[in-house]
Structure 1
């Protein structure tokens, strides 16, 4: 994929090193870090320029209201959970949600996983203290380990290489599932097998029956079903670790332009979105579609400064704003941002992250969220766009395909006492499989009413 690029392009890709870089690990050995990233630069790309270009076109369609983005996956992937079963369960959950949204909302759904690279997380504090012992905070498996020991918590550059390998095996399995027949829409009933009965699954079975009838009609009408055997499924993660993302940036041999080959879609977090910062600078120089998280303190000037840096020419599908306001603030804060960006004229795809602004601590001490509050933010997101005549382009959700108990509520009525039953996340709470389906049915109604 790489060719020799002009010196000014190569120099520009390293300009981020001269700028403030927030939320970076304190790597203890610069020589070890350099050796690891030098090795990474020699390894094959994980994704390809043409795939990123295809996604950019689909995000442009979502910006126009001709498609809808569904982006879902773990808060923070772990190496230990990069197993075939867990990867399949996440893919299955996203496919089921997409079927609900497509059939119920009448729009093609762009399927994207928070997968194959989400191995790092920003932390509010660099250090963590327990029982008088202070160690570096856990920053995700790409940086250090979760056990509270000095050996585990010391940032290790070799983990960047492990993150690459786990990303590669995950992408390989995603491609096998989505291109090998597992994602065939005629298997909508099979995706639901093995789950115990509850209202979300029962409702899904009704929808699957309706899809079956539609398929039989199409078959009788002579429709060619080959296109249904495979789906495009894209990968994404927060581009947090600048050394890793820099090492994975390559020059496309077709066009001579840089692409980040660690994932199809990269986003900049709420805590690293400074327009004059290192993260924005590095991603401004690659051709991938880029996202930026916008929290409730974002101003119109902030948003336009990001447009200037990340999409100065107004290319459709290039820039996605992922709002994470909180249910109590989205109806007040979002309208002003959307109006400012819309008035500017350069397009952006608006996507709702209803998870991060609604985190609470339960009485028993668990970090959690309430499904009803999460859905309320989604409703607020749609209400704002409907009122302004703009397009709600997608959904960005932390979820798992497993039956965890990390988020309160839902048809299974997960309460505070139930959180301890299967609370597995190492960072933020995720919707379980049935809660994800409940969200999909709720959003399908909003799309139908758009």
Structure 2
């Protein structure tokens, strides 16, 4: 891959040519151009071959042969780029993957909301406190959380810091994924400092003992597959800030195709999915696997047009639809979308985001989510696919490896009155470590082929008694 093509890729749509929602209003355009020019000379954060491998894994998800586990912070912060924070998130996702792989008998594709999720769309451009109005906080990539004019003024230099923070994060994730931390023989160690005494932790320990027994049997038979010693872990984020994404788009020297090398997978959010907008136009040009968030107002015609724009060749693994309807609407709004898209002959991956449609404000003023609502939306997602004979392809959740108190409920229950104790998110509330494990066990119980062989097609083909190679 060319690390630095000669200047910006000319084939990409210019911001001034198409409407681009949710872009910062930088007071110094010249400073922005200088930062963008600098980013255009930076090495890629990920490589085309890695993106291609993820696209192959997502094709297995779309065909009903694997399950996507995608999770991480609502909005990463520069201060949280530390070994402990990164290790905690990876450990949580590894534990969830172990639960799903072993209990649901399904290969799990692991993708983090990590190493690039530093920007957030906002419902309102400005925020008012005590008569003072300032720009809304849009993530550390844009401005600061402190409610001061200096902090809230968009600063393009933050894009450069986002790149370097993402590089540091990916370096550690790669080291942890391949250097022994992700070894399946560490299933007990992953639980050591967290919730071993909680209901979900105790349940996980029982499962870990079963995994240990299975690994001991395999070892006694003289086998020691290298897949047990390391794991593939991919990075994703919302492709929100188009100046940053375009600056990190490169031409693959093997094929001449464009890749956004800021992450393996990028998605277009609910607020930027306009069919005539710059975000969809950008996603249509890159070769990465891409996703689109579909809210409750999404029509069948829109979904089909997204597929036509983003996946004109009907390539499994290229396009994922991440549905975020809300627990009260998922069973009413999703069936027609899945039915009509499937009937059109498309093979897309369907994934549930049970977080964003279930947010409310607690009496204390904290933005929160109920674990029961999160679980109910996932249940509705599975019910719809079960009724239609299609594949529930995965979950996309906001979570952390810490014992925060941001979402209410769960086995080690967080009450509304507890929210203030460890409410640490920079934006939306996240599931804590215990709640994340609870969700993994409950999803494993819902998975349609629990204990059986994987099916070969999304429509429920015959069981062959064989399984694809696991990505766990």
TM-score in same-fold range (> 0.5): yes
Taking the TM superposition and a 5 Å limit, the aligned residue runs for 1:420-431 are 420-431=420-431
- Provide the C-alpha distance between the structure 2 equivalents of 1:6 and 1:127, rounded to a whole number of angstroms: 38
The equivalent residue for 1:47 is 46
The equivalent residue for 1:335 is 335
The equivalent residue for 1:388 is 388
Please report how far the alpha carbon of residue 96 of structure 1 lies from its aligned counterpart in structure 2 after TM superposition.
Answer: 0.1
The equivalent residue for 1:28 is 27
Please report how far the alpha carbon of residue 44 of structure 1 lies from its aligned counterpart in structure 2 after TM superposition.
Answer: 0.2
The equivalent residue for 1:75 is 74
- Provide the C-alpha distance between the structure 1 equivalents of 2:9 and 2:166, rounded to a whole number of angstroms: 25
The equivalent residue for 1:344 is 344
Q: Deviations over 1:418-442 (max 9, x none)?
A: 1111000121000000000000000
- Provide the C-alpha distance between the structure 2 equivalents of 1:4 and 1:145, rounded to a whole number of angstroms: 30
For structure 1, list consecutive stretches of 5 or more residues without a partner in the other structure: none
Please report how far the alpha carbon of residue 5 of structure 1 lies from its aligned counterpart in structure 2 after TM superposition.
Answer: 7.7
Please report how far the alpha carbon of residue 226 of structure 1 lies from its aligned counterpart in structure 2 after TM superposition.
Answer: 2.3
- Provide the C-alpha distance between the structure 2 equivalents of 1:90 and 1:41, rounded to a whole number of angstroms: 30
- Provide the C-alpha distance between the structure 2 equivalents of 1:188 and 1:254, rounded to a whole number of angstroms: 39
Answer yes or no: is the 8 Å Cα contact 1:16–1:281 preserved in 2.
no
The equivalent residue for 1:212 is 212
Report whether the alignment pairs 1:84 with 2:83: yes
Taking the TM superposition and a 5 Å limit, the aligned residue runs for 1:108-123 are 108-123=107-122
Answer yes or no: is the 8 Å Cα contact 2:296–2:333 preserved in 1.
yes
3-state SS in 2 of match to 1:11: coil
- Provide the C-alpha distance between the structure 2 equivalents of 1:170 and 1:288, rounded to a whole number of angstroms: 20
The equivalent residue for 1:238 is 238
- Provide the C-alpha distance between the structure 1 equivalents of 2:174 and 2:4, rounded to a whole number of angstroms: 30
The equivalent residue for 1:11 is 10
- Provide the C-alpha distance between the structure 1 equivalents of 2:3 and 2:98, rounded to a whole number of angstroms: 40
Please report how far the alpha carbon of residue 448 of structure 1 lies from its aligned counterpart in structure 2 after TM superposition.
Answer: 5.0
Answer yes or no: is the 8 Å Cα contact 1:250–1:260 preserved in 2.
yes
Normalising by structure 2, we get a TM-score of 0.93
- Provide the C-alpha distance between the structure 2 equivalents of 1:3 and 1:101, rounded to a whole number of angstroms: 37
3-state SS in 1 of match to 2:80: coil
Please report how far the alpha carbon of residue 12 of structure 1 lies from its aligned counterpart in structure 2 after TM superposition.
Answer: 2.3
The equivalent residue for 2:463 is none
3-state SS in 1 of match to 2:236: strand
Give RMSD over aligned pairs.
1.4
Taking the TM superposition and a 5 Å limit, the aligned residue runs for 1:19-418 are 19-196=18-195, 197-418=197-418
Please report how far the alpha carbon of residue 194 of structure 1 lies from its aligned counterpart in structure 2 after TM superposition.
Answer: 1.7
- Provide the C-alpha distance between the structure 2 equivalents of 1:127 and 1:161, rounded to a whole number of angstroms: 24
Please report how far the alpha carbon of residue 272 of structure 1 lies from its aligned counterpart in structure 2 after TM superposition.
Answer: 0.4
Answer yes or no: is the 8 Å Cα contact 2:4–2:40 preserved in 1.
no
Normalising by structure 1, we get a TM-score of 0.98
Answer yes or no: is the 8 Å Cα contact 1:15–1:281 preserved in 2.
no
3-state SS in 2 of match to 1:90: helix
Considering fraction of residues, name the structure with more helix. Answer: 1
